[in-house]
């Protein structure tokens, strides 16, 4: 079978190789990958900015959907022909994120889905909603589950609240959609007018172009009558401003840091992004760091998505052979919605 | 001013009297009542089935909206001309329901709103949403707040869940509307086909006529693929059946008991309604008893209603002089939506 | 190896047989059983009062401790020579109790520990605290975890609260000890004066002999200044009385029902125990049904026990060959503390 | 009566004046102050480092205990001769901290207790535990309630957990005592060996002298077997280090910032203390900012203290006339335990 193998930490060292089709162990399943979806985290892995202990070679990409073609002896949860996604951390089924559970993540600690066939833990799979196409199902995985975990499971979002979503990346757009589903208002920031318009079309009640309003937090305060928002989904921005436009007692979900990392001359990330802590005290703010979600949250999320027939925006689906182009496109930041890659056999 | 005064425990002893307009204390407000809405609890009070220590005479009816015409010296939260509702228990602002807070309820422990002018605690008022008419605002008070408290504040309802609502009484219809607002599915039971149809028109996904399907719990199990519902809003029914169609780990909010009370020959209620407790264990069920909500919950609820422009169904508005007829109509059970009474000056 | 095999639903049909030592699968471990502890649930299983679908033959008894003597290929969490207990439901690691997770319980759905060697899921094991002897470690398993789950994980118990514990069974005594550890006061009921004295010695602040005070709930109200207790651990009693002596907003954990079940002439249990539901509403009570706990809760509980060097009372340890006598002794109800059985090789 | 009046923002402008004894309004009480306890927040107020809108003149100091000598007409909760403390924010009874509730804080927004008699809201008072002396009762107020709120109400602390307490200030020592009461282990940091010894005597399991171990976070990791602590009570330290020694999923309660504020040449505080946010994400950490607590939390806390007969350490009680010396002593940082001031009539 064909697999994209990362042999060194650069996109140039991601190469298409031939590998034997693996056999599932007693509690594993083998899937034929139907589609994958790319995250900025995949680029971080490729550029060695994710895990200091990352080993190579590696098949990258955590998110995707596949059809089960073989199951181990003890597998009862799922069956051949089921169309399933793999939870980001295969061993994280329920409960809190522990290191033990975390160190099972696809396309990092284990081989990911950018290959023709892939092994998954039976317990680490979830049936994909039937109404979603392959690319959509691939798209609605770890970024979606992170947004669901932040807003619904740990955030207790409800009708009447207001959520600030920063940018239009993967987690941000799912946060927008899930907040709307919960009856909440959403304010979106972006540096691109056309992305703001698409966010409004997805249900945002207001968009703020931070290139035009550098003090976007003041704009958020205006929009909320001086009160501030109940929830910030902090994906890329400036925590000081997020805290400034948070209501007293509000919640900031820290799910990303892209905008905060500068690369030094050698291309290494600068981890020193810092923020003031006084506002946490003054605002009685709550902050929570999140990364993906347990399998249980995927199941709950799919129940909600299925009933609402919620469709994730997919920007573009690249052929399997053009996975490197897809990753470069993601890197360009031009997209609105997920960048996907078709399965090898498509 | 005119006031309906309960002088003995029967509808025949509810009489229209003349009373002096009261003066607000330093932290009180005087409102001109614009509309009231009736609850079965008001009938219980009138028939001495609510509080063994109920004193008379009493101006009944807890729910209503009024315009502030005078405020005490220390009042800052609200002002003359504000249109406000009174929280059911005037002294319950936030936190748990304690006896101390509870023993401030309108139309029971204190005089209620079935009068031309009424006193309220400034802290116990909430501004009514401007988009609602007077009768609608009167309708969206304690029954609404009970449903909000049960599903949102204490129930953590979210998209993808399924709620069972029993009947089409006040709390039931608000539960239906708030569950829909949260992205949840709703199954409604009723003994009247036309009420089921109106419930479906309000957004219920299924209706069960318990006169036709006595084992309605089995129908609920079928509708949920054998899993059961996440939440039951138990208002009048049979807890054994509610537990039977609850999912493992699900929640039953006990908010009413009308259907469970038989009257003995002397007209006294039979409080011995009993249910099996084994299913609580087997299902790992959770139960919570609720009665109304703190003022904070009203405010949060109005935020949600206002954004969704959610309108409570109002069945009929009786003139102030016909309050007794309105209560008789409520008693008949023929209504779908709230039965309201106009203010004296309307 | 030797194993106690239940061949029919009576203690007379529990017989000592010879079985081959099983081989662990890739994610299983084989333990040499060092000690087991008996629960009334084991008697229910033996008398066919637990699960209508119970299959035979069965090795009964869920609770015990063993030394790992072999591990499967993929096992990393534990190792040979580790002394471990098995979680009651082997597949319930974290999260809510689902049927899927529940149907892995030892000594019921799977063979239990009343045998010389037993297989456990590696994920379903927890290292036993080193300071506990074998019988103590066997004792501190599912009854302990149920009490921990009820009071700490789902009950949020804290210093200054008061807990009512019914009787002196397994869950009851652990509830007493854990409540004390949390800084809470404990009131215990029992029909035996000497058991009350032992409960006081374990830290209870008051004991009520329900043979002397049939209206023990009124005594509880007196002891709490008329307020009622914050938490009832309902194991065997009368829910109507439990609700009567609960504070407004208090929590009842339903974990057992022994006292509520009568056997009919044919020896079948009468499941019709019923209670009034009105008090749930009036008291704004919360009820939660519980059965055992996920593996995560065992780990947390052992951390707490280990630091406090908390020792569970063990009434008596029977030799392996006298397991039937041990079960009969448990049935007699004469014990205070756990009734244990030594491992076959002891 | 005599009162200490702050007439300008320095200790030199805190002067003893004569004022008329005030009259309680209908819902107020007049107390004769028996003792007050000082907090670093009182120094911040005095030096204009607390609230940019602080108005003068002001009677400072929020914490204290008094005997009720007169009550308003509508007061039922408390009575003359009751010994009560005043909640820090007089209008914050229950629920979240809102601005409206916050802007009722004693010794800041309203006159405080450094006077012979003081007015309190009846709703804002709590009866002091009888077993505590006056200085102890004064000591066990806002600092205690903050620690209780952080660990118990919002932190869900339980037996088996480990808490890191920074320094030996007011909140820190109460956090130590409450954590011990809950069955948790406590690690304390300090720059003074003798303070560490006194913390150990109060029940801490380990002390770290940060003057000797600058990388005290690494010491904490060692002490917790590399896992990290469950909870940090962040009062004065370095959030980056706190996050480093937090377990995955742990909680940091931000309750103070003294150590983080440098004063510039003009004596103005430097609010720019900043910390890295990446660790929040990597650790899935939770942070919560806290300031004091609602009245409800005081009541719950006193229930717990009373049963455990927990005594707060009081370092020294200054005569009323030496209040300025007391504040200077507090400023010196030499104390371990609360610095108190006797009532004017003592």
pLDDT tens-digit series, residues D172-182 = 999 999 999 99
Q: Which two tokens stand for residue C316?
A: 């008596």
Distance CA C51, CA C44 (A): 9
CA distance A291 to D248: 12
B308 vs A178, A183, A304: nearest CB: A183
CA-based nearest residue in chain C for residue B292 = C284
Roughly what angle, to the nearest 10 degrees, separates helices C295-308 and C170-181?
Answer: 60
Neighbours of chain A (3+ CB pairs under 8 A): B, C, D
- Please say if the pLDDT value at position B259 is more than 90: no
Which alpha helices (H) appear in A109-254, and where do they start and end? 134-139, 142-148, 170-181, 193-201, 216-223, 239-244
The answer to whether A15 touches A5, Cβ cutoff 8 Å, is yes
pLDDT averaged per 10 residues, chain C (length 346) = 98 98 95 97 93 94 98 95 98 93 96 98 98 98 97 97 95 97 97 96 96 93 97 83 94 75 50 61 91 96 97 97 98 93 88
Q: How far apart are CA C204 and CA C186, in angstroms?
A: 5
Residue from the list D158, D161, D300 with its beta carbon closest to the beta carbon of C160: D300
Over residues B191-205, the pLDDT tens digits come to 999 999 999 999 999
pLDDT in tens, B166-194: 999 999 999 999 999 999 999 999 999 99
pLDDT tens by residue, A122-180: 999 999 999 999 999 999 999 999 999 999 999 999 999 999 999 999 999 999 999 99
Neighbours of A48 (CB within 10 A): 17
Confidence of residue A273 (pLDDT cuts 50, 70, 90): very low
ipTM of the complex: 0.91
- The total of structural domains in chain C comes to 2
Rounded Cα distance, A75 and A90, in Å = 15
Which residues of C are less than 8 Å from D306 in CB distance? 160
How does residue D49 score in pLDDT terms, banded at 50, 70 and 90?
confident
Substitution target in A49, A226, A281 with the highest count of D β-carbons within 10 Å is A281
pLDDT at B41 over 50: yes
Shortest alpha-carbon distance between residue D247 and chain B (Å): 27
**Taking CB atoms and an 8 Å limit, are A281 and D254 in contact across chains?**
yes
Average pLDDT, chain A: 92
Query: Does D124 share its domain with D59?
Result: yes
Question: Could you list the residue range(s) of the whole structural domain that residue C114 is in?
Answer: 2-143+292-342
Q: Does D278 lie in the same domain as D303?
A: no
pLDDT at D276: 58
- What are residue B35's phi and psi, to 5 degrees? -165, 150
> Which of C289, C346, C274, C341 minimizes the C-alpha distance to C64?
C341
Q: Note the pLDDT tens digit of each residue in C174-208.
A: 999 999 999 999 999 999 999 999 999 999 999 99
Q: Is residue A150, in this structure, part of any structural domain at all?
A: no
CA distances from B300 to A184, C16, C24 (A): 12, 64, 56
pLDDT of residue A138: 98
> What is the structure's pLDDT at B266?
55
Tally of CA atoms within 13 A in the half-sphere of C41 that contains its CB: 24
Identity of the residue in D156, D181, D307 whose CB atom sits nearest the CB atom of C156: D156
Mean pLDDT of D143-154: 98
Q: Give mean pLDDT, residues B77-96.
A: 97
Q: Within this chain, do residues B242 and B265 fall inside the same structural domain, yes or no? A: yes
Give the burial string for B291-300 (b: 16+ CB within 10 Å, else e): bbbbbbbbeb
Reported confidence tier of residue A45, pLDDT bands at 50, 70, 90: very high
The lowest-confidence range among A223-237, A274-288, D161-175 is: A274-288
Beta-carbon contacts of residue D5 (< 8 Å; ≥ 6 apart): D14, D15, D16, D17, D19, D57, D58, D59
**Residue A148 within a domain:** no
Q: Which of C129, C158, C182 to mutate to test the interface with D (most CBs of D within 10 A)?
A: C158
B-C contacts (CB, under 8 Å):
110
* Domain-embedded: residue B149: no
CA distances from A134 to A42, A140, D256 (A): 19, 10, 51
| Residue where a domain stops, chosen among B289, B314, B332 | B289
Output Rg (C-alpha) for chain B, integer angstroms: 20
State both tokens at D284: 């899935």
At D282, is the pLDDT very low, low, confident or very high (cuts 50, 70, 90)?
A: confident
Write out pLDDT tens, residues D79-119: 999 999 999 999 999 999 998 999 999 999 999 999 999 99
The pLDDT value given to residue D256: 77
The predicted pLDDT at position A260 comes to 43
| DSSP one-letter code for B22 | P
The reported pLDDT for the residue numbered A275 is: 55
Name the pTM for this structure: 0.93
CB-based contact, B249 to chain A, within 8 Å: no
Confidence check: pLDDT of A261 > 60:
no
Q: What pLDDT is stored for residue A259 in this prediction?
A: 46
Contact between D74 and B25 using a beta-carbon 8 Å cutoff: yes
**Would you call A281 and D96 a contact, using CB atoms and an 8 Å cutoff?**
no
Q: Which of D247, D281, D285 to mutate to test the interface with A (most CBs of A within 10 A)?
A: D281
* Helix, strand or coil, per DSSP, at residue D123: helix
Structure confidence at residue B103 (pLDDT): 93
In 3D space, the residue among B67, B62, B71, B48 whose CA is nearest the CA of residue B114 turns out to be B62
Strand blocks (E) in chain A: 2-6, 14-18, 28-37, 63-71, 83-86, 117-121, 125-127, 162-166, 185-190, 206-209, 229-234, 246-254, 262-263, 269-270, 274-276, 286-289, 314-318, 338-342
Q: Are residues B102 and B22 in the same domain?
A: yes
Q: Choose among A27, A77, A94: nearest Cβ to C95.
A: A94
Domain presence at residue D214: yes
- The verdict on a CB contact (< 8 Å) between D160 and C185 is no
What integer pLDDT is reported at residue D261 of this predicted model? 46
B111 in Cβ contact with B59 (< 8 Å): yes
Of the candidates B97, A225, B255, the one whose C-alpha atom is nearest the C-alpha of residue D95 is: B97
Using CA atoms, how far apart are residues A340 and A153, in angstroms rounded to an integer?
Answer: 27
pLDDT at C244: 92
According to the model, what pLDDT value does residue B276 have? 58
Please check whether residue B182 is in contact with residue B174, taking contact to mean a CB–CB distance below 8 angstroms.
no
**What pairs with residue B289 in β-bridges?**
B254
> Do the Cβ atoms of C163 and C229 come closer than 8 Å?
yes
Same domain for D184 and D199?
Answer: yes
Q: What share of chain C is helix, strand, coil (3-state, %, to 5)?
A: 30, 30, 40
Answer yes or no: are the C-beta atoms of B315 and B330 closer than 8 Å: no
CA atoms within 13 A on the CB side of C307: 22
The model's confidence at residue B272, banded by pLDDT at 50, 70 and 90, is very low
Sign of the CA dihedral running A104, A105, A111, A116: positive
D255: contact with A, CB 8 A cutoff: yes
Query: What angle do the packed helices D170-181 and D295-308 form, to 10 degrees?
Result: 60
Residue contact D249–A291, C-beta within 8 A: no
The sign of the CA dihedral B33, B39, B45, B50 is negative
Interface A:C, Cβ pairs < 8 A:
27
Who wins on pLDDT, A10 or B262? A10
Q: Which of A274, A289, A304 is the last residue of a domain?
A: A289
**Residue C218: in which H helix or E strand, if any?**
helix C216-223
When CB atoms are compared, the residue of D26, D77, D95 closest to B25 is D26
Nearest of B2, B16, B61 to residue B35 by alpha carbon: B61
Whether chain B has a CB inside 8 Å of the CB on C283: the answer is yes
Contact criterion met (CB < 8 Å) for D182 and C182 = yes
Q: Are residues A275 and A307 in the same domain?
A: no
Q: Using CB atoms, pick whichever of D274, D285, D291 lies closest to residue A284.
A: D291
Q: Which C residues in the span 16-75 are in contact with B, Cβ-Cβ below 8 Å?
A: none
The answer to whether the CB atoms of C25 and A26 lie below 8 A apart is yes
- pLDDT score at A257: 64
User: What is the C-alpha separation between D112 and D96, in angstroms, rounded?
Assistant: 23
Q: Quick check: is A159 in a domain?
A: yes
Contacts of B74 in chain D (CB under 8 A): 25
D202 with D264, same domain: the answer is yes
- The H-assigned helical ranges of D64-153 are 99-102, 134-139, 142-148
CB D96 within 8 A of CB A248: yes
Which of 88-107 (A) contact C at CB < 8 A?
93-96, 100
Length of chain D: 346
| H/E segment holding residue D232 | strand D229-234
Alpha-carbon A197 to chain mean position: 22
Within-domain flag for B150: no
**Substitution target from C23, C26, C127, C293 for chain A, most A beta carbons within 10 A:** C26
A160: left (phi over 0), alpha (psi -120 to 50) or beta: left
Same domain, B285 and B303: no
Q: Which of A158, A183, A303 sits opposite B160 (nearest CB)?
A: A303
Give the pair of three-digit tokens for residue D11.
Answer: 């200790």
Contact C95 A27 (CB under 8 A): no
| Chain B touched by C232 (CB under 8 Å) | no
Residues B188 and B277 placed together within one structural domain of the fold: yes
Is C149 inside any structural domain? no
A76, with CB counted inside 10 A (0-12, 13-18, 19+), is: exposed
- D246, part of any domain: yes
Sign for the CA dihedral angle at C175, C178, C180, C183 comes to: negative
Q: Are B19 and B117 found together in one domain? A: yes
CB contact under 8 A, A307 and B159: yes
Residue D342 pairs with which residues in a beta bridge?
A: D35
Domain boundary among B267, B289, B311: B289
One DSSP character per residue, A30-83 reads: EEEEEEEE--HHHHHHHTT-S-TT--SSB----EEEEEEEEE-TT--S--TT-E
Q: Which residue has the tokens 């220590």?
A: B53
Chain B environment of D74 (Cβ under 8 Å): 25
Three-state DSSP class for residue B199 = helix
Does D280 lie at the interface with A, CB-CB under 8 angstroms?
Answer: yes
The CATH number of the domain holding residue C164 is 3.40.50.720
Same domain, A125 and A163: no
pLDDT band at D346 (very low <50, low <70, confident <90, very high): low
Q: Are residues D94 and D81 in the same domain?
A: yes
CA–CA distance, D232 with D151 (Å, rounded to integer) = 9
Cβ contact A301:B160 at 8 Å: yes
CATH of the domain at A323: 3.90.180.10
CB contact under 8 A, D284 and A255: no
């Amino acid at each position: 079978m064909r697999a994209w193998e990362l042999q060194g930490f650069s996109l140039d060292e991601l190469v298409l190789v031939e590998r034997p089709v693996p056999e599932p162990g007693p509690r594993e399943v083998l899937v034929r990958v139907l589609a994958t979806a790319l995250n900025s985290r995949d680029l971080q892995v490729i550029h060695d900015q994710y895990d200091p202990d990352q080993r190579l070679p590696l098949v990258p990409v955590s998110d995707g959907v596949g059809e089960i073609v073989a199951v181990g002896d003890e597998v009862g949860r799922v069956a051949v022909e089921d169309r399933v996604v793999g939870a980001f951390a295969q061993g994280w089924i329920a409960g809190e994120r522990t290191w033990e559970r975390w160190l099972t993540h696809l396309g990092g600690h284990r081989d990911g889905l950018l290959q023709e066939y892939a092994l998954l833990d039976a317990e680490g799979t979830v049936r994909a909603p039937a109404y979603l196409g392959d690319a959509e199902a691939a798209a609605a995985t770890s970024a979606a589950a992170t947004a669901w975990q932040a807003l619904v499971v740990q955030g207790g979002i409800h009708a009447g609240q207001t959520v600030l979503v920063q940018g239009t990346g993967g987690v941000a757009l799912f946060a927008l959609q899930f907040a709307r589903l919960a009856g909440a208002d959403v304010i979106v920031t972006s540096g691109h007018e056309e992305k703001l318009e698409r966010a409004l079309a997805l249900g945002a009640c207001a968009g703020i172009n931070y290139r035009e309003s550098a003090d976007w937090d003041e704009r958020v305060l205006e929009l909320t009558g001086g009160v501030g928002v109940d929830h910030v989904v902090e994906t890329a921005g400036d925590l000081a401003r997020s805290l400034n436009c948070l209501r007293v007692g509000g919640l900031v979900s820290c799910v990303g840091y892209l905008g905060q990392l500068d690369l030094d001359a050698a291309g290494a990330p600068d981890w020193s992004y810092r923020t003031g802590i006084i506002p946490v005290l003054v605002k009685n703010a709550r902050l929570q760091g999140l990364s993906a979600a347990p399998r249980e949250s995927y199941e709950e999320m799919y129940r909600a998505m299925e009933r609402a027939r919620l469709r994730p925006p997919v920007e573009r689906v690249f052929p399997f052979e053009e996975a490197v182009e897809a990753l470069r496109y993601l890197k360009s930041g031009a997209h609105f919605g997920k960048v996907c890659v078709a399965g090898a056999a498509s």
